[in-house]
Amino acid sequence: MVAYLLAAVLLALFGIGAARDLRRLSNAVLLGLAAAAAAAGLLGDLDRLPSGTARGVADALPVAAVLAALAVAVLLVGNGVLMVRREGRRPVFLLPLLAGLAGICLIGLLWTAARVDSRPLHAAAASALLVAGYLAFLLLCFLGYSALYGRIPPPREVDFVVALGAGLDDDDRVSPLLAARLDRALGLRAEQADGRPAPVLVVSGGKGGDEQLSEAEAMARYAAERGVPAAAVLREDRSRNTAENLRFSGRLMRARRPDYRCTVVTSNFHVLRTAVEARRAGVPGQVVGAPTAGAYWPGAVLREFGALLLCYPRTNAGAVLLLVVLGATAGWRP
């Protein structure tokens, strides 16, 4: 009963936070904690089952968790190998491979610690398990709330639609990933143009070191080829990352209309971090996602998750340090 009451309180806090601003990362954590509390309540109700059934479920749950973790790790390794062979050893494509190998090593460490009587090994295994559990919980919160936030309908009657840059092809034309963002932005713009002036399209992206023109310029050309008048396109061509995309675009929109409203378009894996950054930059708009090829999704999601962790370095570093100490203390005991 206590667990269910806690779940209800956490769910209420989530509702309050979401009503205040959907773009709060704390919403994801509160929703995850509410789900965890509800799951704890369900586990506590196992004693109401017949003794044999309860014992069987209790024995099966750890095995199922290990098998699920191993399956995920193997799939990540497979995806990493596939993407490295297809795209080369870029960091974003190495992430699934490294994460999968880390998961397999963790399972191996836990299996060894369960069979070897060694206090240092037990301490290391306990610390690694607690840190992995913390990161896995946050990742599930991130994935769950990203999916929920991504299904929120985009607002109507905005003044600007902002398309975030995503790199250019070798011939300095928009990449397929960036084209998907632009197509979604143009679609939103066309939907609003029915019966009222179409919002201004803001194309945001600077020039990389290996690019001959800015992402904003290539995006503007893409829009012009699809019939968007030059006067309806606003270029932001200085940004180098998501935070600058939003900060610089916000300044341009505020100069045009101080009380503006906007919709920001990015890739679906990038929606939640963009929403968090938009809130930090004071940009009054929600974020919508464009589709991404499935093979690219694991690496992109892991990169976004890591970037979100780095947005709160003290909190996460403190939590990891505390869990390492607790794990080492518990594992060292006889």
Residue 52 has pLDDT above 70, yes or no: no
Tracing tokens 């904690």 back to the chain, one arrives at: 33
- pLDDT of res. 234: 95
From the number of C-beta atoms within 10 Å of its C-beta (0-12, 13-18, 19+), residue 183 rates as middle
How many whole angstroms from its chain centre is CA 217? 28
Instruction: List pLDDT tens digits, range 119-173.
Output: 889 999 999 999 999 999 999 999 999 999 988 888 888 999 999 998 788 777 8
Give every strand in the sheet of 285-290, ordered side by side.
Answer: 233-236, 200-204, 160-164, 262-267, 285-290
Instruction: List pLDDT tens digits, range 267-305.
Output: 999 999 999 999 999 999 999 999 988 888 899 999 999
